Amino acid sequence: MIRSVKGRLAAHEQDTAVVEVGGVGLLLRVSPTTSRELPTIGSEVALSTYLVVREDALELFGFATESERLLFEAFISVSGVGPRMGLALCGVDQPDGLRVAVARGDVAKIQRAQGVGKRTAERVVLELREKIGQIAPAATTTGPADAVADADTFLAARDGLVGLGFSAEDAEAALSDAPDGADAEALLRHGLGRLRR
């Protein structure tokens, strides 16, 4: 398995990049998010990668961060989501924003990915929602850890409301407009306020 590549960026188009490693140009498919973060042609670049092996082809997918690669792997684990669609999903937002969207059940945001319909977006949310907090690299910066904490906090507040007798759907609707960065207790108060109206 090829887990990363480091070399000179030889070419770059909207959804592909060619990285020259030891005289060999490797074609990598990249998400719009990674594409925006690539340096100028001729510069040194390091990408986290995922190799897809099929009968008729080997495809290498490249990601600017380990966090995005892990999210891609989670997306393609969902029934009906292949590598191209997984890449499109990664291009909707930064990995942190996507984790929070999945945790909050934001189907509309997931549907922004090219080729993703409502049913597929709902399946992504359904299959990944409970494990989204585990889909993150070891925290090396505050960004991914904060996003995982936001997702975990949202799920804790939702579970608290369900424990009080509300349906999961009602709890999620009540928390949908909660302020970002609030702790579980504040989210729980916000949700209760909305549900008691």
Comparing CA positions, the residue from 67, 65, 84 lying closest to residue 76 is 84
If you compute the radius of gyration of the chain from its CA atoms, what whole number of angstroms results?
19
- Residue predicted with more confidence, 35 or 156: 35
What's the pLDDT band for 138 if we cut at 50, 70, 90? Answer: very low
Helix (H), strand (E) at residue 59: strand 58-63
Mean pLDDT of all residues in 23-35 = 92
What's the pLDDT band for 100 if we cut at 50, 70, 90? Answer: confident
Write the single-letter amino acid at 52. Answer: V
